[in-house]
Amino acid sequence: MGDADPRVRAALAACLTDDPDAYRNAYLEAVSTLCAGARLFMPVMADEAGEIGAVKMSNEQGSTALLAFTGIDSLTAWDSRARPVPGSLPDLAATVTEVQADALLIDVAGPAPLVMGPEVLGPVEHGGKLVKFDDGWGWVRGEDLS
């Protein structure tokens, strides 16, 4: 029920490369795969006051990322106390905006972490899907396909 989609995991794993060209292609493939209706899990936890909320992480520069996971296994590997809330990439992109985060960080504890910034999350939040055309990649919306 909370198993990761093997296609999503494979797409994210392909991003684990040091070759910049291979990474760019793998990143676009991963985003496209996530845009195709993949289910992710957002962890929610109680804060010190007992309020339940989405989990954000910060880096040394002060940038924040909303966390998401490809499966319950990767979520519980990160923190077994977190409660999973299923959602799609558009749902999570909207939540990034709502909680005023800078990015979405998928599978922070592995197996293959991936960061998605505003250049991807903005179009997704507004109904865009990244698709591959014969001559490259582009954003389309549902109404563009009719």
Please write down the HEC assignment for all residues of 61-128.
CCCEEEEEECCHHHHHHHCCCCEEEEECHHHHHHHHHHCCCCEEEECCCCCCCEEECHHHHHHHHCCE
Split at pLDDT 50, 70, 90, the class of 146 is: very low
What are the two backbone dihedrals, phi and then psi, of residue 56, each rounded to the nearest 5 degrees? -120, 150
Residue 1 included in any domain: no
Tens digit of each residue's pLDDT (9 = 90 or more) over 31-88: 999 999 999 999 999 988 889 999 999 999 999 999 999 999 999 999 999 999 999 9
Number of domains in the chain: 1
Residue 21 included in any domain: yes
Residue 50 included in any domain: yes
ω into 111 cis (within 30 of 0): yes
Distance CA(14)–CA(27), nearest Å, equals 8
- Where in the sequence is the domain holding 28, given as residue range(s)? 6-145
Residue 32 included in any domain: yes
pLDDT of 144 over the 70 cut: no
The reported pTM is 0.92
Tens digit of each residue's pLDDT (9 = 90 or more) over 1-28: 789 999 999 999 999 999 999 999 999 9
Q: How many residues are there in the chain?
A: 146
